[in-house]
Amino acid sequence: MKELQERIIRDGRALSETVLKVDAFLNHQVDAELTMKIGQAFADLFRSEKVTKVLTVEASGIHFALATAYALGVPFVYAKKKKAVTLSDDVYSAPVYSFTRKENYQISIAKQYLSAEERVLIVDDFLATGAALVGLTQIVADAGAHLVGVGAVVEKSFQEGRGLLEKAGVRVESLARIKSMKPGEIHFVETTPVHTS
């Protein structure tokens, strides 16, 4: 998605070779119009899959899930994050390890909102280690639902998330794939390097 890549160049900040700040327009302050276009892009990529439900995890996936679900004309569900591991018969849950915070947490979804008949599209803001997204795919499998794929707004292609998902047979679509970066420089997959200020 060209507009997104240009925006990452303009307003994103590579703080290191692994940390990209996009809180000016994607995950703290949010460009509402760009977000709706991102949802439209995911909808276009997966429209033929007859998606019945979009799935994401709180908090930074929620606005992209709304935009995607609205463009597809379906509802979305956001998994809740909890620190304590509380088991319940009413929820599907999966453990997730956060590399950013160096701690385990649990994501969960009320069973009544994910049935075996669903055709599920998972979306999130980042695909990096894939931890949260792999957790979501486990929940879809537990529900016996059909996973049509994963849509990530920004992919750190130098990390293992895409590989993990593809090895599990999951279709992965990312709107901006970062091949490598360092302060002042961001390279996308299959594009010429672009220098930032």
Are the C-beta atoms of 152 and 129 separated by less than 8 Å? no
Q: In the complex with its own copies, which residue's Cβ is closer, 74 or 147?
A: 74
Q: In the complex with its own copies, which residue's Cβ is closer, 73 or 169?
A: 73
Distance, CA of 197 to CA of 183 (rounded, Å): 9
Q: In the complex with its own copies, which residue's Cβ is closer, 37 or 146?
A: 37
Between vectors from CA 74 to CA 71 and to CA 78, what angle results, nearest 5°? 100
Rounded least distance, CB 167 to its own copies, Å? 30
Q: In the complex with its own copies, which residue's Cβ is closer, 101 or 167?
A: 101
- The reply, when asked if residue 130 is annotated as ligand binding, is yes
Rounded least distance, CB 81 to its own copies, Å? 8
**Residue ranges binding its own copies (CB under 8 A):** 23-25, 28-33, 35-36, 58-59, 62-63, 65-67, 69-70, 73-78, 80, 109-110, 112-113
- The reply, when asked if residue 182 is annotated as ligand binding, is no
- The reply, when asked if residue 156 is annotated as ligand binding, is yes
Rounded least distance, CB 84 to its own copies, Å? 12
- The reply, when asked if residue 56 is annotated as ligand binding, is no
Q: CB under 8 Å to 53, separation ≥6 — which residues? A: 69, 74, 75, 76, 77, 113, 114, 118, 119, 120, 121, 145
Are the C-beta atoms of 80 and 47 separated by less than 8 Å? no
Work out the number of other CB atoms within 10 angstroms of the CB of residue 113: 16
Distance, CA of 162 to CA of 171 (rounded, Å): 9
- The reply, when asked if residue 80 is annotated as ligand binding, is no
Whether residue 59 is preceded by a cis peptide bond, meaning omega within 30 degrees of 0, is yes
Rounded least distance, CB 2 to its own copies, Å? 20
Annotated binding-site residues for xanthine read 20, 27, 156
